[in-house]
Structure 1
Amino acid sequence: MPSRRQPTPTHTPPPAPAAPALTRLEVRRLATIETLDLDLPGGFLAFTGETGAGKSIIVDALGLLLGGRGGSDLIRSGTDDLLVTAFFGEQEQSASRRITVQGRSTARLDGEVVAVRELGEWTGERLTIHWQHSAQSLLSPAHQRDLLDRQLPDELAAYIQAYRAWQQATSRLETLRRNERERARQLDLLEFQAKEIGDAAPQAGEEEPLQAELGRLSNLESIAAGAAGALELLSEGEINAAGLIAEAVRSLNSGAKYDETSAQLQTELRTALEAVQAVVGELRSLAEDSAPDPEELERVETRLSLLARLRTKYGPELDDVLEFQARVEQELSALNRDEQDAGTLDAEVERLLQVVRQHGERLGRARAVHAGPLAARLVSVVRELGMPHARMEFQLEPLAEPGPHGLQDVRLVFSANPGEALGSLSEVASGGELSRVMLAISTVLGAGTPAVVFDEVDAGIGGAAALAVAEQLYTLARDRQVLVVTHLAQIAARADHHFKVEKVLQGGRTHTSVRPLSAQERLHEIARMLSGNTSEAALQHAGELLGLSG
């Protein structure tokens, strides 16, 4: 049996495989998987197994992290939920999704609960899956246009900027024209509101002192009566506080001459007497002022009533009234500007349209220059992938009006067979052909994400075409991590790492497992894929194939 071919001393080592973007995958209770913990290296990873082994179950698990449909039918029978967790990059950031038998779906990023949409967007920046029968992104006109426009970012950015400016001006002009009557009504209302609040000139915090003043004016008789009673007790009664304190001061005269404490106490009593006398003066004024000033009372009541009316209409608090006034003034200013601008906006819209057309024509010329060479590069790779008669073109069709991405529709058309007219990919390309076109695009333009998965990219090919597909996948894996589900030995033999998907019966239940193969196990798996057995001839053939791929 020949050994794996060794490079000669002068042989240049092949480029190293890309580092792993997807470092680990953990799956629990998904379909026939009970428990799966899979460490994933970088480079080109092939997943193989016998028909019916469930090779695509890895792809299905990753699809859930991209926001794919997650019905309860995916849950392993007899269990309550499924859980898929993937770890990405050197920091091992985690993305997970749990689905219960009740149909509830919980998504997490680094343990934090997020929406399934957010999970899909996050994972989609790190992982792309090209399904055999659902290369929907390639069928999208926007995606096809983007393939070409990636070659001319400056022209596209300039056009988009000009288009947005034109659209904003157009939208504003349409709004002004549509709402002229409404604007006039709004102006009348805002001007009334601004005048009503402006005439009142409310001040922040003025209600509280006004309420206190109203309380005082409304209760002057009670205030005067209380002051008179206090005055009686302090100075005007037959026996009063001022007289008693004065008598106490006199009583200390004799002792104060000889005793420091008595002198100090006498001084304090004199101070107290002065304080009482000062209070007596103020009490007398209060006692004499028992009749409120009708004009002052009316002024306070009127002001409070006005503020209350403003709060009812524009409140509920006076601070809210002031905020409302500020908003009204801003809206009035904007409406007045609109009225002034409406007269000149027509000309501005026309000017911006001409700018859009100029940038659109420049973008169109750039597209025309790049479309042919890019299509030729793609066709060259596609023909190597088992479609020797394939043709591809970017068709540029003018639009009646400028669109968000230019003055043309961009469409990628395709034909795999001689004599067939070019048609849209969605109508003329099979699932396997779509997968190989995606592989060609990934090779020529880059896969777009650090990790890319191909499911059954080898459908309907063999022989030299299979070797060509394998070589393209190998080349792509020098730049990013590539995971491929395949049934072709030629592709599996070219991989940097080989995993086998197996289905076994344990305890009356079916279990799917995935494991990396040793060199000897890989030889036997390649032989099985080539011949359906591991005979000596099959093993020899497998060894030759692995040697060619080394």
Structure 2
Amino acid sequence: MLTTLTIRDLLLIDRLDLEFQPGLNVLTGETGAGKSILLDSLGFVLGWRGRAELVRQGAERGEVTAVFDLAPGHPALAVLDEAGFEHEGEVILRRVNNRDGRKTAWINDRRASGEILRRVSETLVELHGQHDDRGLLDPRGHRELLDAFAGVESELEAVRTAWSVRQRAARALSEAEARLTAARDEEEFLRHAVGELDQLDPQPGEDEALDIRRRHMQAAERVREDLARAHAALGPEGADGLLSDAYRRFDAAAPTLEGALDDVTEALTRAMDALAEAEQGAARVLEALDYDPDELERTEERLFAIRALARKYDVLPDDLAAHADVLRARLMALDSGERDLEQLRADLIAANGTYDAASTKLSERRREAGGRLDAAMARELAPLKMERAVFATHVTPAEPSALGRDMVEFTVATNPGAPAGPLGKIASGGELSRFLLALKVCLTGDESGLTLIFDEIDRGVGGATADAVGRRLASLAEGGQVLVVTHSPQVAAKGAHHWRVEKSVADGLTTSNVVPLSEAERVTEVARMLAGDRITDEARGAARALLD
């Protein structure tokens, strides 16, 4: 419930402090006195879209504070808890509009984003403006209104989920069919490429190994002849033969020289041993350099084949094996694609079945709720002097979507025997207002905690009909809170609390003010609404009768 509304320097309001009460609160005043400004101010603090320029002329900033007293379990508390805001049974909303256009909001003295402010305000206040009935004329909004009345949140969620699964299944099947079609277009290429790669069977690292082996063989071909000559120079025909001959000669002469050649023969022995070791090492090197000339040719052929395939498929030589796996997988997908399609088709059939079941259940709930809404509307229209009007909810098939397979349209017949038709073509302005009031009453139901605001909901009606509207508003306000901006004395007389909006001019500056009315002042205000500027005793008497 809205308990306090404080406005500073906004539009035509200088300073205004209002304390609202439970029940039916009515606001009256001359046309242009500023009733819409009061609603603009309330909408501003609630985060609703409104006028761009709000700051009162001559002020640096405008500010609005609204205090709501909340019952335990109020929906706003859940929003505050989720957003991490502390609360103790009340919500204080404050919003400031600076002259430069910057807007800042607080909830319980903590900065709040516009999104959080709007989420909270949606649970606090519901406004039905002068042109709110235009929404009744658009059948696109009728389904949402019926769903709100039916309370089909779980059924709607089931349909949304089933629709999402159905869409994914349909998309998966479509994409698989496209892939299979594309794969069939390249089947010949895939089979040739996989065969070519499988035949060569390149391995990661093979390119480098072949290149190293090839370079070794090429190097061996260049140096082997020189190494063979050097090896021969170490052998019996070369250094080994000469050293052996010299050793024999020194050794033969040694006995006659009585040990003079011992050092020479020992040195020659060491030299011959070292020479033998060098000759053996050279022989091993020559043996290692000995290769099959055909091996070089085979190595080069395989190396060049690997590199040619790498260029052909635009990959690195080491990636040929992985590329072959990719192509092989695409070929396998082609071979198994039809089996996969069968499974995807089965998945789509199952998803369609789930969606059909969920949407059928939702349709049944909507048709059942449509009947209840029609009956509830009949009960509500009678007290509003429209007991002969017939309100009908039509639920007809529509294209499947995430919201089900139904189109919903409200039609009315305002007189017996008259054809039913869309609200906009059948109902007059005053009738639309009453249809709106009745529909809002039906949709609100047992919902508690919302402050309902009606802005001139009684326009276009008068006399007994206006009295009926006032009685229905008063009944709606029982146990809750309703604020009504009205020009109807019959509606104003039904208020439990009455405020008058006044406009004054002082020192060339226009300001609006809202004042609570005493019982005597209410008589005068209702008399003014009945008689105009010249209030007669008869008007006062009529006002007292209405108030009584």
TM score, norm. by length of structure 2: 0.61
CA–CA distance in structure 1, aligned partners of residues 347 and 62 of structure 2: 58
* CA deviation vs aligned residue, 1:447-476 (integer Å, no higher than 9, x gap): 655100000111011111011001100110
Q: Decide whether the 8 Å contact of 1:130 with 1:435 is kept in 2.
A: no
The alpha carbon displacement at 1:109 in A equals 2.1
For 2:515, the equivalent position in structure 1 comes to 515
Pairing 1:116–2:117 present: no
How do residues 456-475 of structure 1 correspond to structure 2 at under 5 angstroms?
456-475=456-475
CA–CA distance in structure 1, aligned partners of residues 413 and 58 of structure 2: 48
For 1:227, the equivalent position in structure 2 comes to none
Pairing 1:61–2:41 present: yes
Work out which of the residue numbers 431, 443, 446 in structure 1 matches 2:444.
446
CA–CA distance in structure 2, aligned partners of residues 392 and 116 of structure 1: 38
One-letter amino acid of the counterpart of residue 473, structure 1 = L
One-letter amino acid of the counterpart of residue 439, structure 1 = L
Q: Decide whether the 8 Å contact of 2:458 with 2:486 is kept in 1.
A: yes
The 10-residue stretch of structure 1 (377-386 or 467-476) with the greater mean CA deviation from structure 2: 377-386
CA–CA distance in structure 2, aligned partners of residues 415 and 63 of structure 1: 35
* CA deviation vs aligned residue, 1:467-501 (integer Å, no higher than 9, x gap): 10011001100132000001111111111101111
The alpha carbon displacement at 1:173 in A equals 5.0
Q: Decide whether the 8 Å contact of 1:71 with 1:99 is kept in 2.
A: no
The alpha carbon displacement at 1:61 in A equals 1.4
CA–CA distance in structure 1, aligned partners of residues 36 and 466 of structure 2: 19
Q: Decide whether the 8 Å contact of 2:29 with 2:502 is kept in 1.
A: yes
How do residues 521-532 of structure 1 correspond to structure 2 at under 5 angstroms?
521-532=521-532
CA–CA distance in structure 2, aligned partners of residues 425 and 480 of structure 1: 29
Q: Decide whether the 8 Å contact of 1:162 with 1:352 is kept in 2.
A: no
One-letter amino acid of the counterpart of residue 483, structure 2 = L
Q: Number of residues paired by the alignment?
A: 378
CA–CA distance in structure 1, aligned partners of residues 10 and 351 of structure 2: 56
How do residues 84-123 of structure 1 correspond to structure 2 at under 5 angstroms?
84-90=64-70, 91-123=89-121
User: Would the alpha carbon gap of residues 126 and 428 (structure 1) be closer, same or farther in structure 2, given more than 3 Å must change?
Assistant: farther
For 2:367, the equivalent position in structure 1 comes to 368
For 2:380, the equivalent position in structure 1 comes to 381
CA–CA distance in structure 2, aligned partners of residues 370 and 70 of structure 1: 35
User: Would the alpha carbon gap of residues 431 and 68 (structure 1) be closer, same or farther in structure 2, given more than 3 Å must change?
Assistant: farther
Pairing 1:75–2:73 present: no
For 2:476, the equivalent position in structure 1 comes to 476
CA–CA distance in structure 2, aligned partners of residues 49 and 403 of structure 1: 48
CA–CA distance in structure 2, aligned partners of residues 370 and 394 of structure 1: 9
Pairing 1:407–2:405 present: yes
CA–CA distance in structure 1, aligned partners of residues 509 and 19 of structure 2: 25
The alpha carbon displacement at 1:163 in A equals 4.5
How do residues 76-475 of structure 1 correspond to structure 2 at under 5 angstroms?
76-90=56-70, 91-135=89-133, 138=136, 141=139, 143-150=141-148, 152-153=150-151, 157-158=154-155, 160-172=157-169, 174-175=171-172, 177-178=174-175, 344-382=343-381, 384-385=383-384, 387=386, 390-400=389-399, 402-414=400-412, 422-425=420-423, 432-446=430-444, 450-475=450-475
The 10-residue stretch of structure 1 (500-509 or 361-370) with the greater mean CA deviation from structure 2: 361-370
For 2:537, the equivalent position in structure 1 comes to 536
The alpha carbon displacement at 1:385 in A equals 2.8
CA–CA distance in structure 2, aligned partners of residues 102 and 461 of structure 1: 43
1:67 is paired with a residue of what secondary structure?
Answer: coil
Identity of aligned residues (%): 36
One-letter amino acid of the counterpart of residue 81, structure 1 = R
CA–CA distance in structure 1, aligned partners of residues 160 and 29 of structure 2: 52
The CA RMSD measured in Å over matched residues stands at: 3.5
For 1:203, the equivalent position in structure 2 comes to none
Q: Decide whether the 8 Å contact of 2:6 with 2:17 is kept in 1.
A: yes
Q: Decide whether the 8 Å contact of 2:33 with 2:512 is kept in 1.
A: yes
One-letter amino acid of the counterpart of residue 102, structure 2 = R
Q: Decide whether the 8 Å contact of 1:386 with 1:466 is kept in 2.
A: no
One-letter amino acid of the counterpart of residue 525, structure 2 = E
Q: Decide whether the 8 Å contact of 2:149 with 2:443 is kept in 1.
A: no
- Specify every segment of 5 or more residues in structure 2 that has no aligned partner in the other structure, as ranges: 71-88, 184-203, 205-332
For 1:32, the equivalent position in structure 2 comes to 12
1:482 is paired with a residue of what secondary structure?
Answer: strand
The alpha carbon displacement at 1:538 in A equals 1.8
User: Would the alpha carbon gap of residues 435 and 61 (structure 1) be closer, same or farther in structure 2, given more than 3 Å must change?
Assistant: farther
One-letter amino acid of the counterpart of residue 471, structure 2 = E
* CA deviation vs aligned residue, 1:283-335 (integer Å, no higher than 9, x gap): xxxxxxxxxxxxxxxxxxxxxxxxxxxxxxxxxxxxxxxxxxxxxxxxxxxxx
User: Would the alpha carbon gap of residues 71 and 435 (structure 1) be closer, same or farther in structure 2, given more than 3 Å must change?
Assistant: same
User: Would the alpha carbon gap of residues 98 and 342 (structure 1) be closer, same or farther in structure 2, given more than 3 Å must change?
Assistant: farther
CA–CA distance in structure 1, aligned partners of residues 7 and 142 of structure 2: 34
* CA deviation vs aligned residue, 1:19-58 (integer Å, no higher than 9, x gap): xx11111112222111111111111000011222122222
One-letter amino acid of the counterpart of residue 116, structure 2 = E
User: Would the alpha carbon gap of residues 368 and 70 (structure 1) be closer, same or farther in structure 2, given more than 3 Å must change?
Assistant: closer
User: Would the alpha carbon gap of residues 81 and 390 (structure 1) be closer, same or farther in structure 2, given more than 3 Å must change?
Assistant: farther
Work out which of the residue numbers 12, 28, 31 in structure 2 matches 1:51.
31
The 10-residue stretch of structure 1 (468-477 or 85-94) with the greater mean CA deviation from structure 2: 85-94
The 10-residue stretch of structure 1 (387-396 or 473-482) with the greater mean CA deviation from structure 2: 387-396
- Specify every segment of 5 or more residues in structure 1 that has no aligned partner in the other structure, as ranges: 1-20, 185-198, 200-335
* CA deviation vs aligned residue, 1:429-457 (integer Å, no higher than 9, x gap): 56654443232123233265510000011
Q: Decide whether the 8 Å contact of 1:71 with 1:103 is kept in 2.
A: no
The alpha carbon displacement at 1:157 in A equals 2.5
Q: Decide whether the 8 Å contact of 1:395 with 1:411 is kept in 2.
A: yes
Q: Decide whether the 8 Å contact of 2:155 with 2:361 is kept in 1.
A: no
CA–CA distance in structure 2, aligned partners of residues 33 and 151 of structure 1: 38
CA–CA distance in structure 1, aligned partners of residues 457 and 481 of structure 2: 16
2:493 is paired with a residue of what secondary structure?
Answer: helix
The alpha carbon displacement at 1:415 in A equals 5.3
1:534 is paired with a residue of what secondary structure?
Answer: coil
User: Would the alpha carbon gap of residues 96 and 436 (structure 1) be closer, same or farther in structure 2, given more than 3 Å must change?
Assistant: farther
For 1:210, the equivalent position in structure 2 comes to none
1:460 is paired with a residue of what secondary structure?
Answer: coil
CA–CA distance in structure 2, aligned partners of residues 413 and 468 of structure 1: 23
CA–CA distance in structure 1, aligned partners of residues 486 and 156 of structure 2: 43
Q: Decide whether the 8 Å contact of 2:159 with 2:404 is kept in 1.
A: no
User: Would the alpha carbon gap of residues 98 and 414 (structure 1) be closer, same or farther in structure 2, given more than 3 Å must change?
Assistant: farther
CA–CA distance in structure 2, aligned partners of residues 120 and 79 of structure 1: 26
1:50 is paired with a residue of what secondary structure?
Answer: coil
Q: Decide whether the 8 Å contact of 2:28 with 2:487 is kept in 1.
A: yes
